Every structure is written in structure tokens, then in C-alpha cells.
Amino acid sequence: MIAKQISMRVAKRSNFGELVQYIANSQNKHERVEQITVTNCYQPEYIVAAKEIMAVQQRNTRAGSDKTYHLIISFPAGERPTNDTLREIESKVCASIGFAEHQRISAVHTDTDHLHMHIAINKIHPHRLTIHNPYCDHKVLGTICESLEVEYGLARDNHQAVNRGKQSLALSMESAGGVESLLGWIRRECLAEIRAAGSWQEFHEALQHNGLGINEKGNGFVITDGEREVKPSSVARDLSRPQLEKKFGAFVQSSTINRQPEKAYQPKPMASRQDTTVLYEDYKLAQSRVAGLKSQRIGEARDKKNALIEAAKSEARQKRTAIKQFTQGVLNRKVLYQLTSKSLRDKIQTVNQQYRAESKVIRAGSQRSSWLDWLQKRAVEGDVQALSALRARAGNHSLANNNGFTDRTGDGGKPVVGLKPDSITKRGTIIYRAGASAVRDEGHQIKVSKVITQQALALSLNLAMRRFGPTVKVNGTADFKERVVQLAASEKLPVTFENPALEQRRKSLVSELKTQEKKHESDHRNRFAGGFHRLGRRSRIEQRVYGEPRKSNVARVGTRPPPQAKNRLRDLRELGLVRNAFGSKLLLPGNVFGNVEQQSAQAVNGLRREISESGRMMPNPGEAAARQYIAEREKKRTLIKDIPRHTLWTGESGQAEYAGWREKDGKPLVLLKQEESEIIVLPVNTETLKHAKYLKIGDQVNFDSDGSVQKTGLSL
């Protein structure tokens, strides 16, 4: 853990509101600002709290220094303390430098490889209105970081400052920009040869051999390559002017003619595992184009400004000529001249304001990018070479407690087609959004950050299979490994685990799942034996006794005739017929004998609903789809415990929390959560689904007995 103050070079440019706006800005990224904390303010919202803090700063009119203290606390790559731990660390670090009672706003950023926290602190005490400037804060911050690392079991870091001032700044720029600085190049390439010099002449020759020279400046020296300058004391303390004059005597200018150097400094990317020569040439070409386009647009804006000013001046001259020729009276001419001059000044001021605004827009859109920023942009656009160059800078930062997958034989990978990354870090980590969680693809390892949701778990496992093949290594906690194994077994994924215990667990779960499926199929066959329709209890008994179910009110077919029909045939007059003696009479139901079936309308079976079981109708298609979806979720719930129980909507009305929508066999379904562990599945029509897609997860809705859903008075 490292704590460092970011100071403003010009105190007047410091603005607490702009700092808070920067640290709280998500920059259209899901994985950037994780949490924002406001401390010692009356207002809990950071936007209003920032205005409150600026009002307190304005009440102090005596302080001339910067009234804002910008502190950054950064953690090693892969280390992820809990939110409670981060809040405790923030409180203790601020208290150690005397800001325990001061107002502050902090934000945790997770969009880089190093989780870090920005803390904007008001140096003006909210009650005493006095300013507090910590003394030797870098030493105090180093001491408190060491103690907090031990207290919370964090990775130990070096808190002894080796480089300060220009040395630290140059090395920080190398790390942030990825391009070797002149100071760093001299240290790595020339320092040994320069130190070996025994006189001023040899010292000059050593510098010229490397394309460098030394000049006097102020009370000291500067080493230059013709374009850039560095202080010799920044390269090494024994190269300061007092030390060199103590070693060689008074300074003597070089007496030799400048010779062609054998090597010279050229800005180039820092050493990595990949040759980036071609990419760096493309980068320089792109930057030169940006600079050329910027100069062209600025020139066009300047010419436009000059033309407008010249037109305004020409118009003013014409007005003065007209006033001189056609206006009578000295006083009248004087007044008109003043009005003309004022009009000219106003027009020139307006033109200059327009030019400054246009130039600001041009410069903002034509800024030069650093080498790493350019690689990031290319990687987001899908450039595999740029992504590989970013990852070639990274070392192995994996920690044992990281939840994820690892395989050193992976291909390094590229962004998955069809899956848009949330962002890409300067070390080539691709961050994918997965609901409330995030999946980080580092090429040779895939990690799940934040809360591990089922969606993030499925995404990370599928990425690992695509990146590393069918055999993967699972890292992390025991709970994470168990959830991965359960997911692989329930989804029947073609994956094997490198850990023998996990692989054995997966096989046992697959075996249990197959046994449950066989049992389910057997129960299904027994339940629906004899046809699609379910048989009632009486029908099943009759089937066992007689071999087939009996129809209601229909006698069983016997093997012997009734006594009155035994060994004889009935004649026509004994049959149950209706006699109509007169053809003109209307045949009424009373004329029909009781043993003759009355004529009725023919049955149209296409208008009847099928019977699934005794006294019960078949469900409509939406209900059938809902039952099928519920059966699938309940089947997975036996293996994955955090899946809530799903039940079918039974026609009741009430209030619930919107939990999403699904489509099963083309039938739309709406999910409603009334309890934490239960989901109601409601079949709806297409129009309702169209409006439900505009709802957000967690919205409170009302549902009626007719299946309609309402939110804030608007019916879906």
C-alpha cells in the first residue's frame, strides 16, 4: 500500500469542486467508481457536500496557499480489501496527518490494475476556519502505511523514498507514459562511463561519446542532448557541481571539437517482452498528424478572427467618414464618434471571445496522447498487437486469494467477438461488465472482482474455456471453487479441472444429476402412462382391474347377452323406434321412448378444451411455458443453492419487486419478487413485455388479478 499527495503547482488553479467532479466521474465506465464516501459534512450527497466544503473554504480569506489536499492511496495489483477495510484505512491515514476533523470526500477507483482511492480533503477546519499544512507528510504516510499493512494483513511495500524531486518525477513519467526519459537513459546507459572519468576533459569526452554535453546554468550544471536538459545531481548525487569541482577542480569548458557520437538518446518505449518498433513508428506518425491538424485548424480560426476584426474596422472607418461629411455640429460628431468606437470595441471583444472558445475546443479535441494511452485506444478498437504490447509490460501480479482461472499456456487472447469490453487498462487487462460484478481478462488469468454473481461466474468460466481450452485451473476461496464446480455440472459444460479434488467433485455432481434426471423421467412415464392425459385415481384402479379405463356412465362390454336377448332375435316392433302415423305432425321429445337416445346437435370437438386430468383443463400456452421454465429453474436449484424458488402466478393481486423478463418457447414471462427467496412467474402478452423491458431491476410494481402490471400509476 502506498499513500501519496498530489500537489498543485499553482495554488490559484486548485479547485475542490473540479477535483470532486474528476474523482466521482465514471467516464462512461461501469468498472471505475466503486464507492464514494463523504466525511464530516452535513450533506450526505457528494455533489452538495462539495458545495458545502467550498463555502467553508471561502470563509477563510487569509490563507494564500492551496486549501485542498489531494491524497491517493494505492494497493498492489491483485490486492482487493473489503469496503469496510478501505473505509477504516482512509480514516486512519487522514487522522495520522491531522485531518481527522476535516471535511473530505473519497472515491474508490477500480478501472486500473491497481485498486486506488482518491481523497479530496478540505485543509480549512470546518469550525476554527484555520488552515492545516501537514509537516513532512511523506514520512508520516510511509509510517502509517507500514503499520496498516501489518494490521490488516496486506502485501508489504517499500516506503523508504529512494528518489525525490526530479528523479521521482522522471521515473513516474516513465511508468505512466511508457517512454524512456533522458534521465533514465543516462542512468542506464551512460552513468558508469561518466563516473569513470578522472578529469574534466575525460568527463566531456564521456558525455560527447553518448551525444551529450554539460553547461553552466545558475549555480549548477545541466546535461543536455541539444533539446532536453537534466540536472547532473538528479542523475546521481555525486555528479552535483560541488562534488564534481571537489573531484576535478574548477569547471573547465571542453577543448575538443564535437565528434560524431557513437550513441545518442532517442525517445522510445520502455523495454518489454515484445518488439514495438513498428507500433511506435505508427504512434509517432499519428501524433504528427494530430499536431498538423491542430495547427491547421488553429490557423483557420485565427484567419477567420482577423477577417472579422478587419471587417469591423472597415465598417467603423466608413461610419466615421459618413459622420464627418454629413453631421453638423462638433458636439453631435463627438457623440457619434464615441458610439462608433464603443461599437467597434464590442465587436472586437466578441470576435476574440469566439476565437478563444473555438481554440479551446480545437485544443481539447487535438491533444497529444501518451504512448500507453494510444495503445489503450487501439486495443479498445480491436488491435491485437496493441493489446499484446500492453500485456508485454506486465509482470505476474496474481495473488493466491484471487478468485479466477489461470493457465500459463494460454495464448494471451484478444477481446471476445460480440462481447463489448467495459475498458482496457494500461497493462492490457480487459474488463467485462457482468451485472453487478466484473470479469477481468489478463490474458493468462481471468479474475472475478466485486460481488461474484451467477452471471459473472458463468462469463468467467466460459472465457476460461475459450482462452485455456477444456482443462482449466481454478484459484480462489473454497466457496468460489464449489460454485464453479456446481455451475459446470449443472450446465453440462465440456470442461475438466486441473485440481483432482475439484474434478472428482464435478464428476460426482454430474452422476447425481444423471440419477435425478432418470428418476424424473421414470416418474414422468409412470405419471402419464397410457396416453398424454393424466388419469384420475378411479381410472387407474379400473385400468389395473379391467385392462383399460372406463368411460363415465358407460357400462362395461360383457361376454354374455342379457337374459331377454339370450338365444333369440328381437323383431322390428320390439326395437326402440318412434312411430309417426301422420307425416304432417311434428315429432316432439315426449314422443320418444326413454330407451331411445334423443337427437341433439352434433359435437364440434374442435371447440372443446382437452382434459388433462379428472375435472381439470389443459393450461394455456403461456402457462405451459411458465411451468416449463419453473421446472428448469427448480432443477438447477437442487444443485445451486443461491437460485431462489420459482412459483407460478395463481391469479392473485398484490405488490412486488420487478426481477426481469424471460421468453420460453416464444411465450413472454415477467418475473416478480415478493420475498427474498421466491420469484413469481407471470405469463403476459407481447404488448406487456414490450413495456416491461423499460423497467429496471428492483422497481416496485403492482399486479392485478387479470395479469396487468403497473408502475407509478402507468399501466403496462
Domain boundaries, the chain: 2-152, 277-369, 372-515, 627-715
For the four alpha carbons of 181, 76, 462 and 643, in that order, the dihedral sign comes to negative
Residues 377-389 pLDDT 10s:
888 888 888 888 8
Q: Give the residue ranges of DSSP H helices in 161-258.
A: 166-177, 182-185, 191-195, 200-209, 232-235, 241-248
Predicted confidence (pLDDT) per residue in 225-273, tens digit: 888 888 888 888 889 999 999 998 998 888 776 677 888 888 888 888 8
For residue 257, the model assigns a pLDDT of 66
Q: Please state, in angstroms and rounded to a whole number, the distance separating the CA atoms of residues 419 and 436.
A: 16
- Predicted pLDDT at 606: 45
Alpha helices (H) along 579-644: 621-637
**Cα angle for residues 150, 155, 161 (degrees, 5° grid):** 90
Across the range 577-588, mean pLDDT stands at 45
248-259 pLDDT, tens digit per residue, is 899 888 877 667
| Cα end-to-end distance, the chain, whole Å | 52
35 pLDDT above the threshold of 50: yes
**What local confidence, expressed as pLDDT, does residue 701 receive?**
84
CATH of segment(s) 2-152: 3.30.930.30
Residue 59 confidence (pLDDT): 93
Q: Mean pLDDT across the stretch 446-450?
A: 78
Task: Give the 3-state secondary structure of residue 180.
Answer: coil
If you count them, how many residues does the chain have? 716
In the chain, % of residues over pLDDT 90: 26
pTM here? 0.60
- Residue pair 644/678 in contact by the 8 Å Cβ criterion: yes
Question: By C-alpha distance, which of 223, 217, 139 is closest to 181?
Answer: 223
Tell me the per-residue pLDDT of 57-116, one tens digit each, with 9 for 90 and over. 999 999 888 999 999 999 987 788 888 999 999 999 999 999 999 999 999 998 888 889
Q: Does residue 319 have a pLDDT over 90?
A: yes
Query: Model confidence over 152-188: pLDDT tens digits?
Result: 988 888 777 655 555 566 667 777 778 888 888 888 8
Interval 501-528 mean pLDDT: 81
Lowest mean pLDDT across 165-169, 281-285, 372-376? 165-169
Report the alpha-carbon distance of residue 683 to residue 709 in Å, rounded: 11
CA-wise closest residue to 646 among 618, 683, 672: 672
Contact 433, 454 (CB under 8 A): no
700-703 vs 678-683, strand pairing mode: unpaired
Cell of 540: 387407474
pLDDT at 601 over 50: no
pLDDT of residue 411: 52
Q: Within the chain, what is the greatest distance between any pair of CA atoms?
A: 154
Structurally, what CATH architecture does the domain formed by 627-715 represent?
Answer: Beta Barrel (2.40)
CB 106 within 8 A of CB 90: yes
